[in-house]
Amino acid sequence: MKRNTKVSTAVIRRLPRYYRHLSELQEAGTVRISSSALGKSMGLTASQIRQDLSCFGGFGQQGYGYKVDSLKEEIGEILGIHRGHTVVVLGTGNLGRAIIENFRFSSNGFRLLAAFDVSPRVVGSRIAGVPVYHADSLEGFLAEHPVSVGLLAVPISAAQEMGDRLANAGVAGIWNFTNYEIAFDPQRVVVESVHFSDSLLALNYMISQREEERSEEESP
């Protein structure tokens, strides 16, 4: 597929939302959708939708809208969903366990191969069918299995060390849930962090703004 590889971060950040919305539309049986309807359900304008999607070659047909399944396929292709990427989870505390048990890795194009921990209570067991190995065997496992992404759900104190071990063993990406900003050479490994606090602070801002607006409306 030919496409412009210089795509802005903002567009990249929206692509997964497109993919998720299109999956939901597909499950609901929608075959075709206009840019304005797609925009409405995503809180974007029709022109924004057309502009975003044109970055990748423009799949819409004037007056006919987008075919949900082929648009989803194309965006999935751009996102690399079908590349057979694999993932291991480091840390099986509550958060790691919640993700292993509930997150649909396969819907996002990933195979979850294994989990690693140090606690004798879990090492050797399985969580939702996924084997849990001792963290000491991480490098040995990675040498034998090609792993694209390491999910970090270890305590903050172990975050950088375990991240370094993943990077040294050649994983391409680290999905960081530790609330710690891991420092890496971006040429070497891609880090995507899920910072719960950034999300809560943004929410705090939004509700604070609203409180201010309401108090201004109430005051004469």
Position 101 contacts a copy of itself (CB under 8 A): yes
How far is CA 140 from its chain centroid? 27
Interface with a copy of itself (CB under 8 A), residue from 57, 58, 93, 124: 93
Q: Is 203 in the site for a copy of itself (CB under 8 A)?
A: yes
Nearer to a copy of itself, 62 or 180 (CB): 180
- Burial of 65 per CB tally in 10 Å (0-12, 13-18, 19+): middle
When computed from its CA atoms, the radius of gyration of the chain, rounded to whole angstroms, is 21
CB 149 within 8 A of CB 174: yes
In terms of C-beta density within 10 A (0-12 exposed, 13-18 middle, 19 or more buried), how is residue 166 classed?
buried
Task: Indicate the residue among 137 and 206 with the shorter CB distance to a copy of itself.
Answer: 206
Residue of the chain from 116, 135, 173, 182 that contacts a copy of itself (CB under 8 A): 173
What type of residue sits at position 203? L
Q: Which of 159, 19, 148, 36 has the alpha carbon at shortest distance from 95?
A: 159
6 is a contact residue toward a copy of itself (CB under 8 A): no
Residue 109 binds a copy of itself, judged by CB under 8 A: yes
28 is a site residue for a copy of itself (CB under 8 A): no
3-state secondary structure of 197: helix
The verdict on 16 binding a copy of itself (CB under 8 A) reads yes
Q: Does an H or E element contain 152, and which?
A: strand 149-152
Does 72 help bind a copy of itself (rule: CB under 8 A)?
no
Q: Per CB under 8 A, does 31 bind a copy of itself? A: no
Give me the residues that bind a copy of itself (CB under 8 A), please: 5, 10, 12-13, 15-17, 19-21, 24, 78-81, 83, 85, 93-95, 97-99, 101-105, 107-110, 148-149, 172-173, 175, 179, 181, 190, 192, 194-212
